[in-house]
Amino acid sequence: MTYIVEAVDEALGLLMLVAEHPSLGVTELARRAGLTKARAFRLLTTLEHRGLIARESPAAVYKLSYNALLVGNAAREQFDLVKLVAPRLAAIGAACGENVIVRVRDGLESVCVARHESTQSVRVHTEIGNRRPLHVGASGKLLLAYAAPEVLDAVLAHQLERFTAKTIIEPQSLRDELAAIRAAGYAVSLGERDADAVSAAAPLRDHSGAAVASLSIASPASRTTQEALDRHVAMVVAEAAALSRALGHTGG
């Protein structure tokens, strides 16, 4: 079974052609992509509408546009981020004995981009590429707390999904929780996404002070005492501050 959406695949193929061979017209792009000229034109127009490419007159050739630059910069920052934090995750994991995870915000979800997995037989399972809504879990709430206000508005535009009895689904309660996270500088989740999972997260900040990612420790509730959770909070706050300095952050 395949989950590839043909139109999306074709559009992204055209985008890559424009990136690799700028200043080609629709006829040549269609030929190289194996599409009819009419279909290629519709897909190119869609990409142009999204600001990923631009058609230049009078030759009517295509080049990358401003949103492609934003995507490229975001990708470069995230790859640099992973390269920077990856060597440190194992050391943090060895110190706490639990999973250590780095997540970034992608739209209205958080995505795992790096992790160290505990060797203990009972542990919280998280895979690279795992996606979660922003309103659940320590990392999701943390990234939402530091996101632009319109991101929260978009999250609250729909009914918040309940995963466990601890999931926050009431809009004002979520707003209050996010305010508390900003005041504390870290987030905690006690079984909000998975009933037996506890996590603590702190922000990774870049040179501008923006919270570009979250660093978290996740552990099974069955062995996470309040004392252990307090240690995890202190650890992620300290380690996130150190990694933020390596990313160029100079603030407090």
**pLDDT digit string, tens, across residues 26-85:** 999 999 999 999 999 999 999 999 999 999 988 889 999 988 877 876 776 676 788 888
Every domain range in the chain assigned CATH 1.10.10.10: 6-64
**Contact predicate 221/228, CB 8 Å:** no
Every domain range in the chain assigned CATH 3.30.450.40: 73-246
As a whole number of Å, the CA-based R_g of the chain is: 21
103: Cβ contacts below 8 Å, ≥ 6 apart: 110, 111, 112, 113, 139, 140, 143, 201, 213, 214, 216
First to last CA, the chain: 50
Per CATH, the homologous superfamily of domain 73-246 is: GAF domain (3.30.450.40)
- Is 6-64 a CATH 1.10.10.10 domain? yes
**pLDDT digit string, tens, across residues 164-192:** 999 999 999 999 999 999 999 999 999 99
The pTM of this model reads: 0.69
